[in-house]
Amino acid sequence: MLLPVLALSVLARAADLPLPPVAAHAWVLLDVTSGQTIGSVKATERLEPASLTKLMTAYIVFEALKEKRLTLDQTVPVSERSWKAGGSRMFIQPRLPVTVDQLLHGVIVQSANDACIALAEAVAGAEDAFAEHMNREAKRLGMVNTHFTNSSGLPDPAHYTTAQDLAILAAALIRDFPEYYQRYYSEKEYRYNNITQQNRNRLLWLDPNVDGVKTGHTDAAGYCLIASARRDKRRVLSVLLGASSDSSRTQESQKLLNYAFLNYDDVPLYEKGKVVSELPVWKGSESKLKAGVPSDLYVTVPRGMKDKLKADLVSQQPLLAPVSAGQRVATIKTTLDGKPLGEYPVVALQTVGVAGIFGRSIDTVRLWLK
């Protein structure tokens, strides 16, 4: 997925489409396929994330699995601290073996705080050290208004995020770990220690297109829900914070997802690896460079406005050798009905080395004359 350089929330305005009234304190509606924000309210206001924090906990555990620092069947010790955790629990016990896979079910399906602490200790040795890792990952992902102090989302004045940052995190989790997302986030219930608990995301029962992702609730945060739905190849994500009840967060999230699918379309522009343009290269072993997009590029537009979408390629000139494959060499700028929509990177699809002294000398003169 390509994220636009400009994170613009202009789609509704460009088509004079009113945003739906949403009964929540803050929200973001994101088209994950294109990376474009369709609409938002109070997207950058710092708020308590409650159990939505557990998305970052799972993200880091998924990283550890990918890097083979953990395995799903690995047994995890249960410390007294995790055993005695407050709030939502899966009821792990020091003398009852529990695996990483079981703990992930606890975190994701049951929203279990005890499972979060056990996994945090398995990854980083202690929850405080794990929280530092969470903050490093948040910074790397571009979550600029987020700070974590624990793995579960228990209230803390220094534990905060925004609807926009949570949209970034949820999209990254779906993009970076699709196999784990599909494995865990659509499960409706999970049984451990002879106790069955249901997933609190009621949209899993109401909308067959919804396959995740996470609920949260505290008195201060209100009722929160990040929901994602996929129809054909298109995925949409809503982040809703501060609803008044469980039923309200469900209804309002459904409203946002339906609004996106009914009023907007994704337009495919370029395929990954296909040549978008051949750019001139100076002082190189080749005079032309094949350039394209690093991943499939889609642009979201209001329904019926596809013909008003325009894409222009702006290259970095003069482009001097050497140029490495994957190096950014140009930008695709998109507009909708003449209004800026987003900018996307174009990269070299090949490596071009430096020319010999004769070739470099000729190009030096040509550049000087130019």
The catalytic residues are: 51, 54, 111
Amino acid at site 136: R
The SS3 of residue 72 is coil
Q: How far apart are CA 37 and CA 57, in angstroms?
A: 25
CA angle 276, 282, 283 (to 5 degrees): 135
**346 backbone dihedrals φ, ψ, rounded to 5°:** -120, 130
Two structure tokens written together for 195: 């106790």
**85 backbone dihedrals φ, ψ, rounded to 5°:** -60, 145
- Closest to 288 measured CA to CA, from 302, 303, 277, 273: 277
What's the CA dihedral at 322, 324, 328, 332 to 10 degrees?
Answer: 100
Q: How far apart are CA 17 and CA 303, in angstroms?
A: 10
Q: How far apart are CA 208 and CA 216, in angstroms?
A: 21
**320 backbone dihedrals φ, ψ, rounded to 5°:** -105, 140
Is residue 299 within 8 Å of 342, Cβ to Cβ?
yes
Amino acid at site 61: V
Residue 223 to residues 29, 218, 252: CA-CA distances in angstroms?
Answer: 17, 7, 11
